[in-house]
Structure formats: C-alpha cells, structure tokens
Structure 1
C-alpha cells in the first residue's frame, strides 16, 4: 500500500483543503473513466484481467532470449522505452550482471550517430536479439534505429535474423505491422486502447523487463492490487485521487512546478517515465504543472539551494521506499581520523532515510509545500503498485484541469515540422 502524507504546506488555507468541493467532480470523472469505451483506457482494468496466456508467452520468450543471447537491444522512444528502462534500473544491480537476466540496452530514443556507432561496436562479440517497439513504425527515431539494426542483424545472422527480431506493434495496422508480416518476425501486440505512456504493463514493457531478470508476475500482482484498491470513487478512500486533488490545489495557488524527488539513484529513469506521463497528459491548452525531477542526495548539492531559497514556484513530491533489499553498514574505525564513528551504528540506507526526513523538514521550513509518497519496500510488487498509482492519479489530474489525458497534439506538431525540414 502507498501512504500519502501531506506535510509542510505553505499556509493554513491550503492545509485545510476543502475536500468536499471535489467530491462530486472526482466521482464523475471516476465514472467517466470506468465507463469510457472510446478513449485510451484499456490500462485501467488490464492488471485485473489475468491474461495468463500472454504472461506465459512473454516469459517463455524471455527465457529463450536469455539462453541464446548475451544482450537484447530494445528499440523505442517515449512510452515504448521509458517504462521498461525505469523498472529495469530500479530492480537490477547497479554493477555487474543480474543473476536472473541478461544485458538489456536501448536505442531509438535519440538520433545521436555516436550512440548508434558505439552500440554496434559493443555488440561485436555478443549474441544479440532485437525487440522493436512502435505502434505505427513511423516515428523517426526508432524507425531509423530499426533500419540500422535490421541490416546489422541480416548481415550478421543471415536467415536466422528472422528468428532474432521480435516486433511489438499494433494488432491490425501500421508500417511496422506490415514489415513484421512480410519478414515473418514474431509479434507481440500493443492493445489498441492503451497509449504509449500508459503501456509499461503490456508487452511493451513486460518483455524487456522479463529479459532483464525482473519478476513480471510480482510486478503485475502489485499493479492488480492497486487497480482493486483504487477502483473507488470515494475521495476519502482513494489515495491516487487525493494526490491529484492536492496537486490541483497547489496549481490553483500559483505553484508552477512539481518536483519529484527520490533518494535512490536507481529510480532516476522512473522519474523520467513519471515526467513523460504527467507532462504529455496535462501540458495542453496552456495549462498544467511543469514536471521536473531530482535525485537526492546528489541534487541537494546542485539545485538544493534554489529549492530551499529560490523563487516560490515549486512544490515537492518526495518518493521514499522504507526498505531497500540491499544495504551496507558504516564500519567502525579505531583511528576515527575522519571523525565518523558516530555513524558506525547506522547503515547507508538508514542514513539515507534520515536524509529524506531532514530534507523534508528543511524544505517545509523554507516554505516549500511537500507531498510524501511512501511504500514499504523497493521490489517488483510495490513498483507495480506505484506505476498504476501514478497512472490513475495522472488521468484524474488531467481531467480536473479539463484536458484530455490521452492525446499529445504538441508532440505531433514537432514531428510535422521536423519532417517538413527533412523533406526540404
């Protein structure tokens, strides 16, 4: 379960949020989400549907890839890349190999020639599988990367390349779908009613995550629990909706930036996933909070000064896991020449937790509104819960702003301009 605690709110009127003013609108939005068949809301119930056949297929393919390859190259951008990378980084070792998985690397999320060249060089003495993820196949960055990797695989493996390329795409249409059918590539299907930034719990994210060694059954179990718990229109009992309302109240008070902060470096890509989720869902019609992120304690020594004493435009959402499965205790030193023996009874994670507490207190004293999201431990189950929590809160937040959570017209605008310039 997620505990949502409200601390350090700037003034008493904000502490006393008039929750009753939101009761009817939240309930109406909830019913709209639950009953909508026309919008991209397939993610709402997908964790509850228990698609055992699909999960088994993903696990079988992940096992085959791990047996036959040293590295899986995943091609994707945005929602086709960030969710899988977020969970992989959060739940696999910082250094060395994961005992249950193989190396999973990503390409197609930028257009750097140096990145492509160095990736290909790194594959020279490794056995390779490729997973291209795109609903349409026409997004420039992954399409270019797939052209390169497809030629690389065909040159290196010949006819066997057909068996080493897996396509995750639309069930019925699109350029990538046509290529997969023509070339005989194995396919996983992206549900038509789930958009990219809401797709991490579909084959889009599940296959790379499973290959990396993460237990996707536990991940989905956490998401299922969240889907059940958060299927409640009562604002008093739905923490995702309460988070959305607090954000809306702070936005009304003139705060322009939400700063998501955590205290574990492996969560950095989760920040990036969160940033896309809220940025693309809310940033429309000249509305919306700007989603920004920091990783503590590193960024306390970089941007911490501005947060503490700078322009009062920021509120902070602190994400904290009470238990990290891996830890290290501060050793005792008989010399104590660094004068740190007073910490010898602590572990690094315990010090990190105290750092979180001190940061929250200092920023609150400095006038920064603080929201705290706290989970029991950093594992697949609780991360699955958190992923679903954020998606549910995001949909509610966008509708409270009276914008569509599921389109991205601004992204399409940049694509059109870039294409015009390239064709000229």
Structure 2
C-alpha cells in the first residue's frame, strides 16, 4: 500500500504554518461520509477494477504484431497513456516494439516528424475520444484516414477506436467500416479514464498486464469508504490539502516525484487536480515538478519565496536498480564523499534533505511513498489520487467531475472554424479580430 506521511503540515512540526491534527481527522471523516453517499454517477470510476478485460486483451495482443502504435487523443486521453508508457516501459522506443507515438497536440511539425518515422502499412492507430467530437483528435484522425485510404489499405486493419459505448462520430464510423472499438464507460470522464481502455489498451500493446494495474486500484477502491483513518490515507490527504488552502492560504500544490519515470505522472495529476477543482473561485493551482532536477531550479523559490505553496513529495522506496558510485580520487573531498554510495541512495537522500530543509524553514510539505514502480503500484497511485481529488471536491462543495470553464473556448474554436450551430461564436471571433490591437 502507498504510504502517506503528513507529519510536516502539523502545527507540532511547523508552528503557525501548520494545521491541527484534530481538524484534519474531522474533515477526513467528513470526506468519507460525502463520498460514501455517491452524489455523482462519475464516482463509478471506483468500480473500474471489476471490468471485463477479455476483448481488451484480444485487441491488445493483435496490437503487439505491429511495428508502430500511434495514439490520437488529448488531455486525459493522452496523459494517462503517457504515464503508463514512461513509468512502466521507459525509453521504450529505443528498446522495444511496437514503437509508440502519442500525438496529443496539433503541432504540424510534430505530425510531420511522426509521419516521416513510421511505415503506415505496419502501423496501428488508436483514436481516443469519448464524445467523438474532440477537435484536435479528429483533425489528426482525418489526416491519417485520408492517408490510409490513399494507400489502398484496409481501415479496419489500421484503426482502433476508444469511445462512447453507443453514440458519437467514432461510433458511427466504427459501425459503418467495421473498425474494432473499445468502450469508455458512459459515467467515466476523460481525466478519470486512465484505468479504462484509454490507458489499459496501451498497457496490453506494450505487453503489460492490465489486470495488475486494476489489482492495485482495487485496493484503493476497497479502502475509499473505510472510516478507519489509518486505513484511508486518501481521506487524510484530501483533508490536508483542503485545510492548508482554506486555513493557511496555500494556493499552490507543488507535486514533486523523485523518479524520471514519474515526470508525466506529475503532469497527469496536474490536469486531474486543476480541471476537477478549479471552479467557483475555489481550488488550488497544481505545479508539476521533478526531483532532484527542480531542487536546482525551484527550491530557492519554495524556501524563500511567497508563502503560498505546499510541497507534495512522491518518493520511491526501491528503484530496482543498484548502481554503485565508484570510490575514486580519495584526495579530493568533493568526489571522495559520494564514493561507495548508490544512485538510489543518493536520490532518496536528496529527497529527504529537501523535505527536512522545508520543514526546518516551517514550509508545509507531505510525502507519498511508493514501495516501487510497477503495474500494481502505478494502478494504486492512479486510483489513490483520483479518490483524493474527488474527496477534495466534495469538501469544497463543488462537482469534481464537470468542466464548465473549458466549454467557451471549445465553442469559440467551433465558431471560428465554421461549425454549424456556432455562428454566433463565429461572429464573436470576427469582431474580436477587428478590434484595435496594441501590438509592438
């Protein structure tokens, strides 16, 4: 089980910058009560560990026969798969097949380089969009669709759709062209979808057992409703993050994993937290970081900058690789002292030293500890933070599953591109562009 150390946000450790343990426990119990009432159908993500994997594993096995595997998706449809790729198969494209490319932006230069690298005849393209109307994803899909058709290739041999079970543009095309399709359950939103075929299909394509990811998540789903706080660290973390905001005005959460394999995990968490909680003037700003790298670029700010941050460390107990640092140059103290230690010892010591430095300076911080990085603990980590985010939303009194703030930008994009039904937004874009602009 993932361990949470919240010692360093308590008043006992950091004085006036800390919160009382009684307050944390009281709000943790409130969070458990709120989530147990299941006020939103989207909380069905807690049931994902029980999903049937038969079809997923069959299509995943076929995917391993391809030379290249491309994912077209954005937001949760790309970040979750990226985490699985980078955490469980680092430097994958240099060592294994199929070579994976995740095209999540509409940068034309990136697209050009992907096209120049792959051979379409040996490529499987996974198009991920629950609604089937994601502009960026559909733009890339249409280009690949044209290229596949121009080469007289069978579209059903080169596409897999991951989408809604019943409706949407991709569902229509799948039925017309007999394209294999995987289902995103109706009640699961994009940023909570990593443990659906959105992430699990890539896992199977990489030869990673999706059931191991789900087994880790199952442990969290089981504990999410436990009223025993020593069995429910998710409630403690949600309460702690909530209280350090509303009581201590800590508006920025620095998410700081100490492993290169978890760099994208930091980015995944930031979307989950920001899009779920940034509503009605509430929520805090997530800040993706990486240890030890950002000790050298950001620690000065955290130590002596504005008093608005809480650091959430993610440390890894065992990195599964022991490389000893040679004992050389005994007459040079700056080199001698690190000899005989291992890289694992060094990275974990640097995390500990940063944690201590922050605590000694009365800066609130907490720590999640993963025993190691594998499919089981990654699945556990995904579900852990999804539960924490949901609980935090309920404590704030907002819906942690909608995203009304992003809809206007989508509508204006539709209007600017001439989509039917969005003529009013199109006129707004034209008028905006006619305004006098102060550009130098």
Name the TM-score, length of structure 2 as normaliser.
0.89
* 2:168 corresponds to 1:174: yes
Deviation at residue 315 of structure 1 after TM alignment: 0.4
1:29 aligns with 2:27: no
Check whether the contact 1:263–1:320 (CA below 8 A) recurs between aligned residues.
yes
User: For each residue in 1:35-94, what CA deviation from the matched residue of structure 2 results, as whole angstroms up to 9, or x when unmatched?
Assistant: x5x6212211121x2x3xx42322222222212x11100110111111111121011133
2:407 is matched with which residue? Answer: 412
Instruction: Report SS of the residue matched to 1:148.
Output: helix
**Runs of at least 5 residues in structure 2 that lack an aligned partner in the other structure:** 419-425, 427-440
Matched, 1:239 2:233: yes
What is the rounded CA distance, in whole Å, between the counterparts of 1:232 and 1:16 in structure 2?
Answer: 19
Matches of 1:346 and 1:72 in 2, distance apart?
40
> 1:64 matched to which residue of 2?
62
Aligned residue in 2 for 1:11: 15
2:398 equivalent to 1:403: yes
Asked if 1:267 is matched to 2:262, the reply is yes
1:373 to 350, 368, 381: 368
Alpha-carbon distance, 1:169 to partner: 0.6
Q: Report the count of equivalent residues.
A: 413
For 2:140 and 2:61, locate their aligned partners in 1 and report how far apart those are by CA, in whole Å: 25
Post-superposition, which runs of at least 4 consecutive aligned residues in structure 1 deviate over 6 A? Answer: none
Q: 2:28, 2:239 within 8 Å by CA — same for their partners in 1? A: no
Whether contact under 8 Å (2:31, 2:392) holds in the other structure is no
In 1, Cα distance between the equivalents of 2:335 and 2:89? Answer: 30
Change (3 A) 1:369 1:19: closer
Aligned partner (choices 84, 94, 106) of residue 111 of structure 1: 106
User: Does the 8 Å contact 1:74/1:105 carry over to 2?
Assistant: yes
Alignment of structure 1 residues 78-157 onto 2, 5 Å: 78-94=75-91, 97-98=94-95, 101-107=97-103, 109-124=104-119, 127-156=122-151
* Distance change (3 Å), C-alpha of 1:269 and 1:154: same
Could you tell me how far 1:96 is from its partner in structure 2? 5.4
- The alpha-carbon distance between structure 1 residues 201 and 287, as it changes in their structure 2 partners (threshold 3 A), is same
- Matching residue within 188, 197, 220 for 1:194: 188
Long gaps (5+) in structure 1: none
Distance 1:154 1:233, change over 3 A: farther
Q: Which TM-score applies when normalising by structure 1?
A: 0.92
Could you tell me how far 1:341 is from its partner in structure 2?
A: 3.1
CA separation in 2, counterparts of 1:304 and 1:21? 32
**How far apart are the structure 2 equivalents of 1:19 and 1:339?**
44
Report the Cα offset of residue 235 of structure 1: 3.8
Distance 1:335 1:362 in 2: 29
The 1:229–1:334 alpha-carbon spacing in structure 2 relative to 1, beyond 3 Å, is same
In the alignment, the residues of structure 2 paired with residue 24 and residue 264 of structure 1 have an alpha-carbon distance, to the nearest angstrom, of 32
* Contact 2:165 2:186 (8 Å CA) reproduced: yes
